[in-house]
Chains A and B, each alone.
Chain A
Amino acid sequence: MLYATASQTVGPYLHIGLAALDCADLTADAPDLAGQRIVIEGRVIDGRGEPVPDGMVEIWQANPAGRYRHEEDTGDAPLVPGFTGFGRVPTGPDGGFRFVTVKPGPVPDLAGDLQAPHIMVSVFTRGLVKHVATRLYFGDEAAANAADSVLGLVPPARRATLVADATAPGSYRWNVVLQGADETVFFDI
């Protein structure tokens, strides 16, 4: 058996190699989703509460019908033309990031129960020797969140770190805190 190659930090100059795939608007090539757009905004913050201005956020998600564009998702829900489910943005000077996307539909967990709608989020930056993996849930899905098997693995006091505030219809606010008292929950996947 081989062993997976060790992770190394992206360093401060990641944009040179990674900007070509930047995608802040996941709906840009999917006109069918024009009426369902949402905006997710937030900041990446370090252990002292300072912005992380030299990082990158990637997201991966299902479409509104709960279907991932991937051969392993053999569900019946339809794919949406032009929607890949992948997004990538660099963080700004204030640590900020912003995605235009759609709320994903629910997908099953290992027991076959539906998970609450969620977006997979990875953060890469200088100082992270391997990326951190977390999930974004939606603050206006309280009932689904309460039944979600993954949120159920998280100590109740920390669950709120995974839930984006619905600040207006279709607008969500969610920060990633890498370290400290309000540290975001990160997963070993």
Chain B
Amino acid sequence: MPPRPGPYRRPYWDTQPPYRFDPYGSTQLRAPSQPLIALPQSISELTGPTFGPEFVRDGDNDLTAGHGGEPIGERILVTGRVLDENGRPVPHALIEIWQANAAGRYVHKRDQHDAPLDPNFTGDGRTLTDAQGRYQFKTIKPGAYPWRNHHNAWRPQHIHFSLFGNAYATRLVTQMYFPGDPLLAFDPIFNCVPDAKARDRLIATFDWATTSPEYALGYQFDIVLRGRDATPME
């Protein structure tokens, strides 16, 4: 029997946020107060749900389509690769995304921000990475919006990303931000990640190679899921 690969690596120091981050007020009553209990990774953690093409329909990666007309806003292409920490592509991985419209409004009953809804934009997308771990979404650039975390609080423009990877242990939900956004420095959600380089990796890069002439600006956003240690010696 071939040796099994090792466990998924623990996060490198400060590259993941602590649960409790007081500037983000909602953590104060929802963050666990007890330390987590470290669990050796058994078959329960090394397996996880997998999603085939039946979970994604054609066009699910085009958030500008599927309505009566074109959404208002700046059309963009968001592309990148899903890799593990060892630099290996994660192929055929499901990505789910959601975002506000160009005016900074979500199609959601809880969003009461006084900005217009767009009948041609719902703001959800899904795709599977290809054999090289690549993905692409077509969408519009989301708007910034106010929230009630503190006085004059505004979320920087962002897109939510949700991924499973190959195991329960690799589950990740994150947010992609845009380069040059002046709100990033003031956003407690972005800044809950202690390590500055880890924060910077949440910011997409503007990408000429993805930019489509006369059509849409392109952004590159690579996502890294936990990788496995080398096979332990038998």
Contact = CB atoms under 8 A, between A and B. Distances in A.
Do A and B actually bind? yes
Interface of A: 1-18, 20-21, 46-48, 50, 52, 54, 58, 60, 62, 68-70, 72-73, 84-86, 107-110, 115, 118, 120, 122, 124-133, 135, 150, 153-154, 158, 178-180, 183-189
A13 B106 contact: yes
A179 B47 contact: no
Contacts of A133: 168
Provide the main secondary structure of the chain B interface. Answer: loop
Interface stretch (B64-72, B178-186, B207-215, B221-229): B221-229
B132 interface: no
Contact of B126 (A20, A126, A154): A20
A2 B123 CA distance: 30
Chain B, interface size category, equals 35 or more
A62 B135 CA distance: 30
Nearest to A54: B110
B107 interface: yes
B44 A7 contact: no
Given A18-B98, A187-B36, A124 B173 contact: yes
Interface of B: 4, 8-12, 15-19, 21, 24, 26-34, 36-51, 55, 83-87, 96-100, 106-108, 110-111, 122-126, 160, 162, 166-169, 171-175, 189-190, 192-193, 195, 198-199, 201-202, 223-227
Contacts of A179: 29-33
11 contacts: A3-B201, A6-B201, A14-B160, A17-B124, A47-B30, A109-B42, A127-B28, A153-B38, A180-B33, A188-B39, A189-B169
Nearest to B56: A20
A7 B48 contact: no
B108 A6 contact: no
A185 B34 contact: yes
A188 B37 contact: yes
Given A60-B48, A187-B38, A129 B107 contact: no
